[in-house]
Amino acid sequence: MRLGSGTFAACCVVIQVLGVALFLRGFFPAPIRSSSRTEHQAEPPAPEPSAGDRSNWTKLPPPLFRKVVIMLIDGLRDDFVFGSKGVKFMPYTTYLVEKGASHSFVAEAKLPTVTMPRIKALMTGSLPGFIDVVRNLNSPALVEDNVITQAKAAGKRIIFYGDETWVKLFPKHFVEYDGTTSFFVSDYTEVDDNVTRHLDKVLKRGDWDVLILHYLGLDHIGHVSGPNSPLIGHKLREMDSVLMKIHTSLLSEERETLVPNLLVLCGDHGMSEAGGHGASSMEELNTALILISSAFERKPGDIRRPKHVQQTDLAATLAIGLGLPIPGNSVGSLLFPTVEGRPVREQLRFLHLNAVQLSKLLQENVPSYTKEPGFEQFKMSERLHGNWIRLYLEENNSEVLFNLGAKVRRQYLEALRTLSLSLSRQVAQYDIYSMLVGTVMVLEVLVLLLLSIPQALSNKAELEVPLWSPVFSLLFYLVFLVLSALHVIVCTSAESSCYFCGLSWLTAGGVMALISALLCAVVSALAKVFADGKHLRKNPAHPKARWSELDVLILLGTLGHVLSLGASSFVEEEHQTWYFLVNTLCLALCHELYKNCFLRDDGEPQPCSHVEQGLVSSEPALWDRNIHCNVSEPHRVSKSPTSLDTLRGYEKWMVLASPWVILTCCRLLRSLNQTGVQWAHRPDLGHWLTSSDHKAELSVLAALSLLVIFVLVQRRCSLTSKVAMALGLLGVYCYRAAIGNVLFPWQRDSKDISKGVIEARFVHVFVLGILFTGTKDLLKSQVIAADFTIKTVGLWEIYSGLVLLAALLFRPHNLPVLVLSLLIQTLMTKFIWKPLRHDAAEITIMHYWFCQAFFYFQGNSNNIATVDVSAGFVGLDTYMEVPAAFLTAFATFAGPVLWASHLVSFLSSETRSGSALSHACFCYALTCSFPVSAYIILVTSLRHHLFIWSVFSPKLLYEGMHVLITAAICVFFTAMDQTNTKS
Amino acid sequence: MKDTDIKRLLYTHLLCIFSIILSIFIPSFFLENFSILETHLTWLCICSVFVTAVNLVLYLVVKPNASSKRSSLSYKVARFLKCCIYFLMSCFFFHVIFVLYGAIIFETLQLREIPPVIYIFVFYRVTSIWENSLQITTISSFIGTWLGAFPIPLDWERPWQVWPISCTLGATFGYVAGLVISPLWIYWNRKQLTYKNN
Ligand SMILES: [Zn+2]
Ligand SMILES: [Zn+2]
């Protein structure tokens, strides 16, 4: 079957997406749960150990506190309470911490530092898997054993106000609740007022046992304006007053009932210096945790640094405090200071319960648990505990009893610490089989792409895909049978759950057939390459293809980038790699331009073939990584004498200056957003612009940027879209003014901040309108099949529609990124690619490099925290999953998408040979799939690396998303290519 | 003729390499706390001074092109001025490139571009194979600088990973490599190379 190379590449990338999806499913398995989950509730609590069996305390100890209030402030970093900000803005809390009856800790959150997994960790005490980040937006109900469910089962009445996530996690658990949605990140007053307004009423009533409040405002402020914004201070003061209100009310109630209550102030995760969260910087991991109760001892003037504990420790502590069994999956250990005031026997009983639960979890998850030091310590302390009980029941000498008790306690605490540590270290198990199947698919596709380079980049841009013949060959059936047999063996023998085995037999069979068909295709392609090679060696009359410096640079750069992905710091600082490569590319282009301009005068006489520099000879498409290819193609040298001669005066100067202008632009952009890890804290222009003092500058910059965007984009559109574009850009400014990011000149202060839904929808309408006009033109060109210009206009209109959407979604300080990207595209097109007559393959790869560089110029990084979630809610009234996901994805990948669509428009507007688009599509697919495949292998081999969760996994998710987008782009390419060949 | 030239080239290059090695060891006898990494700038200056001196001496001794016309004083002065201008221009040029690659302008004010530039200055006046070897050494020291920028983002926390050091070290290594490579390269390709002067 003959296929165009574009179509072929698109098919390949689509298959690759399947492979990557399968790999990701295997790499991020659902977290393993304690197997005895269902019986756990019915199971009686562990009895008190004793040397003889005289102890009769087998029931759970009674609750320590009558009422528990959990006040969770989203994004409450430790220094907001214990640092200088806390002293300044939270006086009451500081008083409680320093002089009141309280215990304060720095609770360390685990990755991912995103709200839902953190809530789960707080309530179950377990470590949720990384994939919970992705499921964060639509949280399913929590089925794991947790404190809330236990409390409900014990007949406690629970009231909840705050983030809706809780209501989704614990449906039907609360006797009363009011969920607020966390999706309007720009709103930070209403979300909290919605919580506080219930407070007075609830505190007066006595008909509840647990009250949970989740305040979102602080986190939203962090997302919008960072941790150093003045708004943070206001919010902290507000939170302080809320805490005071709750505490006084609890105290006054205690005076009547004489039973202590517990007030817990905690954060779910911290906040990075940029204001986001999701990664593993100290600021994101460390949260404040304060337990306040009159049962605790007052400690006047005790200003020690708070102790570091794990966030998961809270679940066990809460369970003990409420007199509930500890959740089965909890890996935390009891915060001992909370029970310090109790009698020694009770203390030991609590510690024993906790240790029994942890050792049980260890037994279920670690086969060789008897060798674990924690387990040995536990057995030892249990024995000592038994001795102590015997002494106690015999009413022995109190001094001996006390000393032995202290010893047992120390032993228990040590055992708990070791157990908890070794459990936390249990890495989630990988689903190796699914990963393997996915990797095989991805690799086969890559090899197929690599082997078909010579054919795909030939002038015809067509290649023979041996797809049908292998289906009937013996090899195919053999491989298929072997694979199926392997599948059956693996799936019947595997103990752990495996996603790929869970699929239906038909689907699995289909995947197996696909893999074997691909294998056959690879084999036949390989055979063909060998045959060709032999053929070539027989008649080596053809001139060897020469590589220009640019080709070498492109090849080395691509390889170097792929190799650099193996080091965690290069992954963290990937933007540096791309900036470096793009700079070098510009210098190389500069070199080439100057050589063409100046050195040709005294050089040897040029080959005369440049007279017919028409369609065919300018399309050699030489870029490739194999030696055995494109031998029969026209020589590169024949295209070098270029239209530089025809340029004169100002244009020539522009040509000479353009690389330097582009380099300057890149330098400016890179100082706009600092990303990465090592240098992310450096001050940058973006921070300067977004700080509240420079609103006027930001407004001027935004207005100017929008104007330049209009000037740069409107040239190639029809009149209707020009008008639509102008109105749309105006709407963008109105939207930003409405949500309070920028100012109108007549507007002095921004009092009335709305969500800007109307303005944003206004722009959305224009975006859709422009896209619609473009599509209409494209369809028309397909039907009429005569007018080439209509198609070009249509493509440019789609491109400008995307630009308008990006302008709407980008934060105002990022608008220069858009402007400079348009500027660089224009300069490159006019003064570099056209005069130098690069072929489609080279242009594609240059585009790809700029794609990547702009991804980071936007402020993205290989880290979940930099995803701008607020972009997903532009113009939406309520949370709608599909549009929100689409908008967020577009805003994140705007740079790559815009450059790719520019590539399509540019290549098809140049009246080149018909194969240009197919070549471009093929090269684009190849350059994208190469790093992905390499990265998958790297990640598989590095899966026990220390930074696998913090550095490599987020990058893997980004790569997966990137492949998906590449597939969409390639399909678009192919569609354009089809219309091309038709007309 | 040519072979002797190549031989002389090789010897001068070996002397240059020797001078670089000397510049690493000699100052430690005179200066307190001298080390390449901590007092990097001092080392850089000393290294450049050594290389320049050796080159000047060699120039006077070897006299690659001693034609009578060129030995007039005014010609020499003009030549020298030209060299200075080229030197300043290349300083500026490299400075711009370093800034574009992301160095903070502040830091760049130090004289870190010296090593790659000094060679241009020193070697500029020679023609023939000397010029050819100049090209190779310049290019290789430039590539060395380029490669030297790679380890900067790694978090190995090594002292040589700080911004200018790895680049200048890369440049020096590139220069040494160029010194070794260029005579060999010229030797292998001596058939193809023709110079107008010779
Ligand atoms: Zn949160
Ligand atoms: Zn958040």
Rounded mean pLDDT, A393-405:
80
C-alpha A949/C-alpha A28 separation (Å) is: 10
> What chain A residue is nearest to B155 in terms of C-alpha separation?
A569
Nearest Cα to Cα of residue A107 among A375, A317, A344: A317
- Read off the pLDDT band of A255 (50, 70, 90): confident
Residue of A570, A587, A670 lying closest to B154 (CB–CB): A570
Rounded mean pLDDT, A96-100:
86
- The CA–CA distances, whole Å, from B14 to A541, B78, B181 equal 43, 30, 11
For residue A946, which residues of chain B lie inside 8 Å, CB to CB? none
For residue A82, which amino acid is it?
A: F
- A276 alpha carbon – ligand 2 mean position (Å): 6
- B178 alpha carbon – ligand 1 mean position (Å): 56
Out of A222-236, A366-380, A433-447, A789-803, which region has the weakest mean confidence (pLDDT)? A366-380
With 50 as the cut, is the pLDDT of residue A601 above it?
Answer: no
In the 8-state DSSP scheme, what is residue A328?
T
**CA neighbours within 13 Å on the CB side: how many for A566?**
8
Rounded mean pLDDT, A803-827:
90
Instruction: Please report which helix (H) or strand (E) contains residue B185, including its range.
Output: helix B163-188
- DSSP character string of B6-47: HHHHHHHHHHHHHHHHHHHHTHHHHSTT--TTTTHHHHHHHH
How many Cβ atoms from other residues are within 10 Å of residue A549's Cβ? 11
* Number of Cβ pairs < 8 A linking chain A and chain B: 34
Percent of chain A with pLDDT over 90: 18
Alpha helices in A469-504 (DSSP H): 474-493, 499-502
- Read off the pLDDT band of A556 (50, 70, 90): confident
C-alpha A337/C-alpha A326 separation (Å) is: 17
C-alpha A458/C-alpha A462 separation (Å) is: 8
Which ligand neighbours the alpha carbon of A277 most closely?
A: 2
In the 8-state DSSP scheme, what is residue A77?
B
Rg (CA), chain B: 18
C-alpha A919/C-alpha A503 separation (Å) is: 37
pLDDT tens by residue, chain B, 198 residues: 567 777 777 777 787 777 777 777 777 677 666 666 666 667 777 777 777 777 777 766 665 554 444 556 676 677 667 767 766 776 677 667 766 666 544 344 344 444 444 444 444 444 455 666 666 776 777 777 777 766 666 656 566 666 666 777 777 777 777 777 777 777 776 666 555 443
Rounded mean pLDDT, A75-93:
90
Contact A222, A271 (CB under 8 A): yes
Contact A155, A205 (CB under 8 A): no
Instruction: Please report which helix (H) or strand (E) contains residue A551, including its range.
Output: helix A549-564
Q: Which residues are CB-neighbours of A345 under 8 A, at least 6 positions away? A: A389, A392
With 80 as the cut, is the pLDDT of residue A562 above it?
Answer: yes
Rounded mean pLDDT, A721-746:
85
Mutate to test the interface with A, among B93, B95, B97, B101 (most CBs of A within 10 A): B101
Nearest Cα to Cα of residue B103 among A400, A583, A837: A583
Contact A894, A918 (CB under 8 A): no
Can you give the length of chain A in residues? 983
Q: Structure tokens of A739? A: 């949500």
Q: Structure tokens of A152? A: 């409900």
Contact B45, B116 (CB under 8 A): no
- Read off the pLDDT band of A488 (50, 70, 90): confident
Nearest Cα to Cα of residue A895 among A818, A981, A965: A818
With 50 as the cut, is the pLDDT of residue A837 above it?
Answer: yes
The reported pLDDT for the residue numbered A18 is 92
Q: Do A667 and B97 touch (CB under 8 A)?
A: no
Q: Which residues pair with A72 in a beta bridge?
A: A214, A266
Q: Structure tokens of A230? A: 């003045």
Contact A166, A212 (CB under 8 A): yes
Q: Do A569 and B152 touch (CB under 8 A)?
A: no
> What chain B residue is nearest to A573 in terms of C-alpha separation?
B153
A648 phi-psi bin (left φ>0, alpha ψ -120 to 50, beta other): beta
Contact B184, B7 (CB under 8 A): no
Nearest Cα to Cα of residue A306 among A594, A64, A103: A103
Can you give the length of chain B in residues? 198
How many Cβ atoms from other residues are within 10 Å of residue A557's Cβ? 20
Q: What is the ipTM of this complex?
A: 0.71
The reported pLDDT for the residue numbered A967 is 93
C-alpha A769/C-alpha A760 separation (Å) is: 14
Q: Structure tokens of B176? A: 């040494």
- A311 alpha carbon – ligand 2 mean position (Å): 17
Residue of B100, B154, B156 lying closest to A583 (CB–CB): B100
User: B152 CB near a chain A CB, below 8 Å?
Assistant: yes
The reported pLDDT for the residue numbered A849 is 92
CA angle A475, A477, A483 (to 5 degrees): 100
C-alpha A334/C-alpha A291 separation (Å) is: 13
Rounded mean pLDDT, A601-617:
36
For residue A678, which residues of chain B lie inside 8 Å, CB to CB? 153, 155
Q: Do A568 and B149 touch (CB under 8 A)?
A: no
- Pairing type for strands A462-464 and A2-4 reads antiparallel
- A217 alpha carbon – ligand 1 mean position (Å): 10
Nearest Cα to Cα of residue A253 among A66, A74, A401, A428: A66
**Measured over all CA atoms, what is the biggest interatomic distance in chain A, rounded to whole angstroms?**
112
- Pairing type for strands A102-108 and A2-4 reads unpaired
Nearest Cα to Cα of residue A896 among A939, A845, A853: A853
Helix axes A915-941, A549-564, angle to 10 degrees: 30
Nearest Cα to Cα of residue A747 among A760, A733, A764, A728: A733
Instruction: Cis check for the bond before A896: say yes or no (omega within 30 of 0).
Output: no
User: B97 CB near a chain A CB, below 8 Å?
Assistant: yes
- Least Cα separation, residue B158 to chain A (angstroms): 14
C-alpha A354/C-alpha A373 separation (Å) is: 17
Q: Do A667 and B154 touch (CB under 8 A)?
A: no
With 60 as the cut, is the pLDDT of residue A427 above it?
Answer: no
Letter string b/e over residues A200-238, b meaning 16 or more CB atoms within 10 A of that residue's CB: eebbeeeebbbbbbbbbbbbbbbbbbbbebebbbebbeb
Contact A635, A543 (CB under 8 A): yes
> What chain B residue is nearest to A666 in terms of C-alpha separation?
B100
- Least Cα separation, residue A12 to chain B (angstroms): 33
Q: Do B155 and A576 touch (CB under 8 A)?
A: no
Q: Do A678 and B100 touch (CB under 8 A)?
A: no
Handedness of CA A623, A625, A627, A630 (dihedral sign): negative
Please identify every residue whose CB atom is under 5 Å from ligand 1, which is an ion: A 74, 115, 219, 268
Q: Which residues are CB-neighbours of A62 under 8 A, at least 6 positions away? A: A323
The reported pLDDT for the residue numbered A138 is 46
Measured torsion, CA atoms of residues A908, A909, A910, A911, in degrees rounded to the nearest 10:
80
E strand intervals along A68-173: 68-73, 102-108, 158-163
> In the predicted model, what is the mean pLDDT of chain A?
80
For residue A667, which residues of chain B lie inside 8 Å, CB to CB? 99-100, 102
Measured torsion, CA atoms of residues A356, A361, A362, A367, in degrees rounded to the nearest 10:
130
Contact A429, A32 (CB under 8 A): yes
With 50 as the cut, is the pLDDT of residue A872 above it?
Answer: yes
Contact A525, A452 (CB under 8 A): yes
Contact B55, B123 (CB under 8 A): yes
* Coil vs helix vs strand at A2: strand
Q: Structure tokens of B10? A: 């090789």
For residue A576, which residues of chain B lie inside 8 Å, CB to CB? 102, 152-153
Contact B113, B98 (CB under 8 A): yes
Q: Structure tokens of A879? A: 């949370």
For residue B104, which residues of chain A lie inside 8 Å, CB to CB? none
User: B104 CB near a chain A CB, below 8 Å?
Assistant: no
Instruction: Please report which helix (H) or strand (E) contains residue B171, including its range.
Output: helix B163-188
- A114 alpha carbon – ligand 2 mean position (Å): 7
C-alpha B152/C-alpha B145 separation (Å) is: 12
Mutate to test the interface with B, among A556, A559, A570, A857 (most CBs of B within 10 A): A570
**Alpha carbon A730 to chain centroid distance?**
32
Q: Which residues pair with A108 in a beta bridge?
A: A286, A310
How many Cβ atoms from other residues are within 10 Å of residue A72's Cβ? 23
Out of A184-193, A213-222, A636-645, which region has the weakest mean confidence (pLDDT)? A636-645
- Least Cα separation, residue B93 to chain A (angstroms): 12
**Measured over all CA atoms, what is the biggest interatomic distance in chain B, rounded to whole angstroms?**
58
- Pairing type for strands A210-215 and A68-73 reads parallel
Nearest Cα to Cα of residue A330 among A348, A321, A318: A318
- Least Cα separation, residue A850 to chain B (angstroms): 15
